Amino acid sequence: MAESKRRGEDAVDERLDEGLDGDAPRDDALDERLDKTASKPERASGVDKSTRTPAKTKAGERPGVFARFRNFLREIISELGKVIWPTRKELLTYTTVVVVFVAIMMTIVGVLDFGFAKAVIYVFGSKGK
């Protein structure tokens, strides 16, 4: 399966071939390509949000406690609307898997605990004897 994802031996990367053939791109052309890839694309609306300042209620003051709490609740509701909630069948399946896994882990830990306790008593003896 890993073999099928690899590029074939005949695959060609033109950027590597440019350097190998001696036809390496000029430094200014390379800088121009890097500048294009490094710059962020502008938003569709044409507004650069990085220069925007947050809205304030009064000149130079932060919004009040209640306004910030209201905005916090609005953002929570907005994010919960984006969540993909599981169906009832998926929820029951996931719950069953978790409960079975926890039961198995509890059994393993319990058996190991019991075994180590018996080993410690065997090695060090008990106070009753």
pLDDT at 4 over 60: no
Per the CB < 8 A criterion, the answer to whether 116 and 124 are in contact is no
Q: How confident is the model at residue 61 (pLDDT cuts 50, 70, 90)?
A: confident
d(CA 67, CA 56): 10
User: pTM higher than 0.75, yes or no?
Assistant: no
Q: What is the mean pLDDT of residues 90-107?
A: 98
d(CA 67, CA 57): 9
d(CA 26, CA 37): 17
d(CA 101, CA 108): 11
- C-alpha dihedral sign at 113, 114, 115, 119: positive
d(CA 76, CA 83): 11
Q: Work out the percent of the chain whose per-residue pLDDT is above 70.
A: 51
